[in-house]
Structure 1
Amino acid sequence: MLSATGWGTLVAGAVLTTTGYVLGYGEAAALGTACLLAVAVAVLWALPAPVLGTERRITPSRVSRGDPAEGVVTLTNTGGRTRRGLRAIDRCGERDIAVEVPPLRPGTSYEVRYALPTARRGRVPVGPLRLERTDPLGLARRMRPYDAADTLLVRPRIRPLPVLPSGRAHHVEGPASDSADDGTLTFHALREYVLGDDLRRVHWRSTARTGTLMVRQMVDVSLPHTTLVLDTRRRAYASEDDFELAVDCAASIAYAAARSHFPVHLTSEAGALLHTDGSGHDGEALLDALAVVRRSELPSVAAAFDGLEGHHGSGALVVVTGTGDTRGLGAVDRVRHRFDRATMVRVGATEAATTRDGVDPVGDVRQLRVASLDELLAGWRREAAR
């Protein structure tokens, strides 16, 4: 209830009053009494709880790292008296944002706007909002929480990239396994009916022969796949900035494929992050998933390739890593032959010699070294044109 100044005034008033009466100093006693009265008036001033209506919104609720975002709080005086001495305090991440509120007459509203921190990727908790009422001297205050907490999602930055073409010629009769995506272009096999299947795909001859409702399984054999391996190991990157750039690169590559309605499989050494089928708002889902990726303490990235050894869908393999520790990256050779093409993006400054166009061919996997998103854009366009 009392501020630090209020407590100091209260102690000083008690000491001055006691000393003045005991030693006979009238001036000290009067000054001490004035201090005590000031504290009492301050407490009475701050005691009534303000009757206010509050509404908070975050615009936009999702934002790319570094882009502006605002918190907007609307305060409405729903009481019958003018409210003065109010200050709105909102918790944003790890810091408080305080805004002074002018006097509010009954029935009037005031809109508080403040910038939200977007320098770091991730979920930024906003709130709960607190209203602080203080006396003119700042001796006493009363705090009251309003509203629940909201969340601002800070996502990776992206650049518009082309999709890497897949060069393998697919068999005219379709894939030879059940791993291809369900589609409408090519007949693949017959299977038993599952609730929700399109009845127009029922194969009546097989149904009559087997006595079980059978449907045609149709697949899209030409749909390019993008398998993206993001190395999240702390030791793989020289700095936090390099890791953030790697996430931005992964987000740009994944979003480019999703924007073209192509399937994307996103994984790391810590496990699969997301798999999309090329429909709906896959790009937004990928950005949301990458917004909360954190660095891991695992020693090797090899586990990220273990789940790709059974891959049958060809397409493009993209590995995004840093210029630090390379333990486990050799595992890419085990799965390289299962994809049409493989590209490794190395993020961060390096003293290693590079070719004139910034791409190092290393075995069957070309390495694209980038130190910014602009370099990724230029190098990726060259890769797509190969």
Structure 2
Amino acid sequence: MRSGLRALTSRGRSFLASGLAALLMAVLLGENDLFRIGVLVAALPLIAALVVARTRYRLACARRLDPPRAEAGGEATVTLRLENVTRLPTGLLLIEDTVPYALGVRPRFVLDRVEPKGVREIDYRVRSDLRGRFVIGPLSVRIADPFGLVELTRSFTISDTLVVTPQVVALPHVRLSGEWTGGGDSRTRSVAAAGDDDVAPREYRQGDDLRRVHWRSTARHGELMVRREEQQWQSRGALLLDTRRYAHRGEGPRSSFEVAVSAAASIGVHLAHEGLGLRLVTDQGAEHLTDNATSYSLLDTLAVVKTSPARSLEMGITALRQGGGDGLIVAVLGSMSPEDARELAKLRHGGVTGVAVLLDVDSWDVREYGSADNYQAVQAVLAGYGWRIVKLPAGTSIASVWQDAASKGRFTVGGAA
């Protein structure tokens, strides 16, 4: 009863106060009719509080996100499934789900009655123009009486996470040459069509699959020998994203930083679909990407990437240099100094292909933070080392300029050619 009284709404408190006042005036004036009215008005919220407080509903809740990963600016559908697991019908239920401000207002629903063992499903949509990981939930259920005199809130504990990834645009196919690397024993399988006698075995190493043991060679050598496997050749590359705060201009979803993140996501997904083994590097160093899901792992990482206070690309360049074996380096760059450009440019050598996506950050802000001379100087340094230059000004899609990645870097005063 005490919890029911605490759950009185403003209307319930008003009824109770009016009823008590009517009772007091009835006693002072000796009005029996007023006394009966006062009893009725005061009893209504008390009875409602007692009924709601003694209600023992048991509700089961489940939530489904479709899709669980959405692009910035896209929509996702949230489906709530409520089940009444008791043998009693519910009363009026007020449903409210907890949603971050970036996804919109909190959705509220009213369920009039759920029969015993009954199930209700409720759908609503969420949308975000911002990248990130957003926790949806927990769900709260307010049990109310039909007169709106009492509301008792009960909450579930479950929550789900919606990942809002950067916008990804389809890119045209561009031939990007680079060296091929991989891990294994040989380029071709050594088992000849004639049979096991032509197998070129090697000694057993810790972690080798026992199904590869070649028993005839093992008996001949007196130690475990295994068949050599085919070399798993795969083109490898690195994607450098410049996240330095001072290297970008603008605010919000249309800032140069968000455009850079979207461009990196588009390039990374495009190259992953073409079979490139990719690693992500920022000015803070190498980022960890899980295996077997390169595109998803890249998008999940870029969904939460933020600007950094760094002033130099030194850590990122060091991470690229230490990685080694990259046949392709794609760098998405903001404003940078010719010195940083020179250190980055030196990474392109031999069979390594370098592609620099240069954001013209001054086109995002009318104020003069940099200069066109510095921008052309950076292009000249990179092109001088054989990098391919892709210029990306404000309001331009990476898809419309990605074809420039096919042009080997030759720089003239007018720009890249």
- Give TM-score, length-normalised by structure 1: 0.77
Residue 60 of structure 1 corresponds to 67
The answer as to whether partners of 2:165 and 2:300 remain within 8 angstroms in 1 is yes
What is the deviation of 1:263? 0.8
1:124 aligns with 2:134: yes
Q: In structure 2, do the counterparts of structure 1 residues 11 and 76 end up closer, same or farther at CA, with 3 Å as the change threshold?
A: closer
Residue 403 of structure 2 corresponds to 381
The answer as to whether partners of 1:53 and 1:76 remain within 8 angstroms in 2 is yes
Farther off after superposition, 149-158 or 19-28: 19-28
**Counterpart-to-counterpart distance in 2, 1:119 and 1:207:** 66
**Counterpart-to-counterpart distance in 2, 1:319 and 1:134:** 58
SS of the counterpart of 1:40?
helix
The structure with more helix, counted as a fraction of residues? 2
SS of the counterpart of 2:260?
helix
1:257 aligns with 2:271: yes
SS of the counterpart of 1:66?
coil
**Counterpart-to-counterpart distance in 1, 2:13 and 2:139:** 28
**Counterpart-to-counterpart distance in 1, 2:337 and 2:10:** 55
Runs of 4+ off more than 6 Å: 25-32, 204-212, 324-327
For 1:196-345, what aligned pairs fall within 5 Å after superposition? 196=208, 219=231, 223-238=234-249, 239-241=251-253, 242=255, 243-275=257-289, 280-323=292-335, 328=340, 330-337=342-349, 340-345=352-357
Q: Percent identity among equivalent residues?
A: 24
Q: How large is the Cα RMSD of the aligned pairs?
A: 4.2
1:150 aligns with 2:160: yes
Q: Of residues 72, 76, 81 in structure 1, which corresponds to 2:79?
A: 72
What is the deviation of 1:323? 4.3
The answer as to whether partners of 1:13 and 1:34 remain within 8 angstroms in 2 is no
Q: Of residues 14, 17, 21 in structure 2, which corresponds to 1:9?
A: 14
What is the deviation of 1:379? 0.9
The answer as to whether partners of 2:203 and 2:226 remain within 8 angstroms in 1 is yes
What amino acid is the match of 1:2?
A
What is the deviation of 1:301? 2.6
**Counterpart-to-counterpart distance in 1, 2:397 and 2:220:** 61
**Counterpart-to-counterpart distance in 2, 1:183 and 1:275:** 25
Farther off after superposition, 267-276 or 324-333: 324-333
What is the deviation of 1:326? 8.8
The answer as to whether partners of 2:388 and 2:404 remain within 8 angstroms in 1 is no
**Counterpart-to-counterpart distance in 1, 2:148 and 2:329:** 63
What is the deviation of 1:64? 1.8
SS of the counterpart of 1:160?
coil
**Structure 2: where are the runs of 5+ without partners?**
1-5, 190-201, 364-370, 409-417
What amino acid is the match of 1:56?
R
The answer as to whether partners of 1:361 and 1:367 remain within 8 angstroms in 2 is no
The answer as to whether partners of 1:166 and 1:224 remain within 8 angstroms in 2 is no
How many residue pairs were aligned?
Answer: 370
What is the deviation of 1:38? 3.7
SS of the counterpart of 1:124?
strand
**Counterpart-to-counterpart distance in 2, 1:22 and 1:191:** 104
1:46 aligns with 2:52: yes
Q: In structure 2, do the counterparts of structure 1 residues 80 and 341 end up closer, same or farther at CA, with 3 Å as the change threshold?
A: same
The answer as to whether partners of 2:166 and 2:262 remain within 8 angstroms in 1 is yes
The answer as to whether partners of 2:389 and 2:404 remain within 8 angstroms in 1 is no
The structure with more strand, counted as a fraction of residues? 1
What is the deviation of 1:211? 6.8
Residue 133 of structure 1 corresponds to 143
What is the deviation of 1:134? 1.6
SS of the counterpart of 1:249?
helix
**Counterpart-to-counterpart distance in 2, 1:7 and 1:325:** 69
What amino acid is the match of 1:378?
S
1:166-202 alpha-carbon deviations (Å, 9 max, x no partner) = 445x6xxxx9xxx744475269xx8862322587698
**Counterpart-to-counterpart distance in 1, 2:350 and 2:18:** 83
What is the deviation of 1:275? 4.8
What is the deviation of 1:382? 3.0
Residue 363 of structure 1 corresponds to 382
SS of the counterpart of 2:155?
strand
**Structure 1: where are the runs of 5+ without partners?**
none
Structure ID, larger Rg: 2
Q: In structure 2, do the counterparts of structure 1 residues 104 and 275 end up closer, same or farther at CA, with 3 Å as the change threshold?
A: closer
Q: Of residues 118, 125, 129 in structure 2, which corresponds to 1:108?
A: 118
- Give TM-score, length-normalised by structure 2: 0.72
What is the deviation of 1:373? 8.7
Farther off after superposition, 299-308 or 76-85: 76-85
